[in-house]
Chain A
Amino acid sequence: MSRKVIALLGSTRGKKTASESIVDYISGNGNAEGFDLVKYRAHEIFNKQDKLDDFMNDVIDSDTLLISSAVYVHSVPYPLTVVLENMSAIESRKNLEGKKLLSIFHSGYPEDIQRKASFEICENFAKVTNMEWLGGIGFGG
């Protein structure tokens, strides 16, 4: 039985984004690696309760959450922040305990420090929700 990975995309620019291209690349290799990947775009779900519920149910049914996003003004973009705030609601946390979290952040700036805050925010989110933080990969320049 293959593992299920939920990808949460933070970029707000629509569908042709670096965040999504990275996830599509990973997804293309998914079958060989033994996992299925389901994508959600934060800007399409953050202000719609039914879509947030669908997303949360998929996360509950999965092993791993992968956050892929551009850095917006030195940290996590607004719609992605809203989704994380919703996920961390007290009543949701018990459903997330033990699930794996990793993140990919990219920006036009070459220095790693420009993406550091975004990774720390995800790590802190993992601590709040008792998820297992696996770390992340940064791309810049």
Chain B
Amino acid sequence: MNTVILNSIQSDDKLYNILKSFLFEELSKAGFKNEFIDLFSKNIEYCNGCGYCGEKKVGVCVKKDDMTEIYYELANSKIYIFISPITFGGFNSELKKAIDRISPLGVSGYTIYKGELHHPMRYDNPKMFFTIGILDNDYPEQEETFKLVSERLEKAFFSPKTASLVLNKDMNVDSIQLKIKESLEKLGVIS
């Protein structure tokens, strides 16, 4: 089974290697093949809402850029993991740019899911959705918004198993690894 990790924290951030190496270690032990994608290194245009993917050629994005490979990974991965600095409670712009392009993975029609209107997903993924946000200590109230933003995507993805984790830069490595383990246990990836 595959995992796709969309990352928007910079590689010189001290949390970058901690998160990347530990996620790889735990997911690989659990038998997952992992694709870690640094969004800052990708050429991704922003969605201009042209409607091509929903009206003209359903499921296909008119923009031909690095999202093409990301669509492939998303379609074929049981686990989506999104990593981002928390910006005003949401994902930062780099990750949001990729998320805004996810519409081709949905179908044009609507369905009711957990009492809300949503576009069904085209593929039977993700089975698990995990968000990791890095919070600035000056703005603790943004944690609740990040949980809401994560919950909204959980529903958009129809993901049956979900986890959302907020970290801050003052945490030591052991605490970070423990929290990631707890989240992976919640998802049922490890026991």
Contacts and interface: CB of A to CB of B under 8 A. Distances in A.
Contact of A75 (B90, B102, B139, B144): B90
Given A73-B156, A74-B152, A111-B117, A124 B88 contact: yes
Contacts of A13: 48-50
Contacts of B90: 75-76, 81, 117, 121
A111 to B, nearest CB: 5
Interface string B76-101: 00000000000111111100110110
A114 B152 contact: yes
Contacts of A124: 88-89, 139, 141-142, 145
Contacts of B92: 81, 85
A86 to B, nearest CB: 10
Nearest to B103: A73
Contacts of B49: 11-13, 70, 72
B139 A81 contact: no
A117 B47 CA distance: 19
A89 interface: no
Interface string B38-55: 000000001111100000
B88 A117 contact: no
Nearest to A86: B93
Contact of B89 (A70, A72, A111, A121): A121
B14 to A, nearest CB: 21
Interface of A: 11-14, 43, 70, 72-79, 81-82, 84-85, 88, 109-111, 113-114, 116-117, 120-122, 124-125, 127-128
